[in-house]
Amino acid sequence: MNRITLMGALITSFILVQPTLVTGQGKELSDRAKTMDTNKDGLVQKNEAKGPLLSNFKDMDCDKNDGLDGVEISGFFTGAGCPKAAAVEPLFRVTLLGTGAPPPRAGRFGPATLIETDAGSFLFDAGRGATIRIFQLGGEHPLRSRPFFAKADKLFLTHLHSDHVVGIPDLWLSGRMFGRGTPLQVWGPEGTISLMTNLQATYAEDIRVRSRPGPAGRALAKANKVIAHDVGPGEVYNQNGVSIRAFMVDHRGHTNLKHTFGYRIDYAGRSVVLSGDTKYCECVIEAAAGADLVIHEVAAVSAQILKRVPFFKRLEINHTSPENVGKVFAAVKPKLGVFTHLVTYGVSPDEIIKRASKTYSGKMVVGSDLMRISVGKLVRVLDK
């Protein structure tokens, strides 16, 4: 068999296999949605990080959907595109690095969201395990992970609760070893400069013993630096077409927390809004006007657990119920609404969707760690 004949056979085999891959993908996602469960006492969600919780499955074909193929899930798309060409849109991708809360669950790391654009990458909060998730983006390979660490040099904090900042030392110090050659820049509410100044003092000995002479030492010294900014509401970043605006939210509850932000990120005519930690607040609706993607925190505790642990009632004071998140989505009408920072006890992801559906009938998904979302003309949940 000559080279041309062999190449033709390979191409034919590839084309014939493709429909099976698309069909199988839809079945796999459907099966994933059935794995959500709770254990008998309702305290821990089982299998909740295996895949996104999806609703309203229906098949889709290329001819009716501007060149996209595969499966439509609540109106957004997952999987490969159709063979016919489509215009290439600017990169605007969201990765949920951590969708958890204070409970140290292995399947849901602490709050952290990575946004990648053609103009740079931006990390929002650095909860427990954020650095591990970034390493996973490169397949846990020290070389393939380097581009992700190299770009993870801009961190924006919603507030200074420990579950949102406990991963900063790891991001800062491990990041310099695995690809970041620039100072770590940190923006956040009042207290951010103090936090980062004290972290530098805490790890001064580690920095000293790892210092070395020569060009390698000078590069490491650059990566050791921290540039921190205390910011208030308003635009806090505007470079190369990326605008990031902080807005005040309401996470005071029974505490005296004064400064808590959500963030709006605008790029290439598209926008993403992160609620940060907040109770139901019109401020999120106002800031998210016209947004393509809204990512909102959620809290829910079963009646059984509330009876056993009345203290958990406070969670509903500081956070937003599924029904109220649904109200936010209904007012904003994004292309996709996503639940993150799951402060949940005895309430499964299925139940979150069910409860939110009482107030919102649009497209929504319960986030999972390492879920990737592409933002463009369409908002698509991408395969892991």
Does a structural domain hold residue 25?
A: no
- Tokens for 317, please give them: 């004071």
CATH at residue 150: 3.60.15.10
Say what percent of the chain tops pLDDT 90: 66
Query: According to DSSP H, which parts of the chain are helical?
Result: 3-33, 130-137, 146-151, 162-165, 168-177, 192-202, 204-209, 214-224, 282-287, 303-308, 313-318, 322-332, 349-356
* Interval 235-274: pLDDT, tens: 999 999 999 999 999 887 656 677 899 999 999 999 999 9
Is 163 labeled as catalytic in the residue annotation? yes
Does a structural domain hold residue 3?
A: no
pLDDT given at position 254: 55
Structural domain that includes position 337 = 34-382
DSSP codes of every residue in 169-218:
HHHHHHHHHTT--SPEEEEESTTHHHHHHHHHHHTHHHHHHT--SHHHHH
- Cβ distance 72 to 60 under 8 Å? yes
Residue type, 181: G
3-class DSSP state of 273 = strand
Nearest to 49 by CA among 35, 66, 29, 68: 35
Count of domains forming the chain: 1
Does a structural domain hold residue 14?
A: no
Query: According to DSSP H, which parts of 53-143 are helical?
Result: 130-137
pLDDT given at position 87: 67
Residues 6+ apart with CB under 8 A from 234: 245, 246
Catalytic choice (69, 163, 266, 292): 163
- Cβ distance 345 to 305 under 8 Å? yes
- Is 151 or 22 the better-scoring residue by pLDDT? 151
Please tell me the total number of residues recorded for the chain in this structure: 384
In this prediction, residue 25 has a pLDDT band, given cuts at 50, 70 and 90, of very low
* Interval 320-345: pLDDT, tens: 999 999 999 999 999 999 999 999 99
* Helices vs strands, H then E, count in the chain: 13, 20
pLDDT given at position 115: 98
Residues 379 and 77: their CA atoms lie apart, in Å, by 7
Does a structural domain hold residue 13?
A: no
Burial 132-170 (b: 16+ CB within 10 A, else e): bbbbbbbeeeeeebeebbbbbbbbbbbbbbebbbbbbeb
Does a structural domain hold residue 21?
A: no
Q: Which residue has the tokens 């579950």?
A: 163
Residues 55 and 315: their CA atoms lie apart, in Å, by 27
Residue type, 75: G
* Interval 101-110: pLDDT, tens: 998 999 999 9
Q: State phi, psi for 63 to the nearest 5 degrees.
A: -60, -25
Asked if residue 375 has pLDDT above 50, the reply is yes
HEC assignment per residue over 320-366: CCHHHHHHHHHHHCCCEEEEEEEEEECCCHHHHHHHHCCCCCCCEEE
Does a structural domain hold residue 7?
A: no
Mean predicted confidence (pLDDT) in 184-202: 97
Does a structural domain hold residue 48?
A: yes
pLDDT given at position 311: 77
* Interval 162-177: pLDDT, tens: 999 999 999 999 999 9
pLDDT given at position 215: 81
- Cβ distance 46 to 38 under 8 Å? yes
Is the alpha carbon torsion for 111, 272, 380, 335 positive or negative?
positive
Does a structural domain hold residue 131?
A: yes
- Is 47 or 308 the better-scoring residue by pLDDT? 308
Q: Give me the residues paired with residue 301 across strands.
A: 345
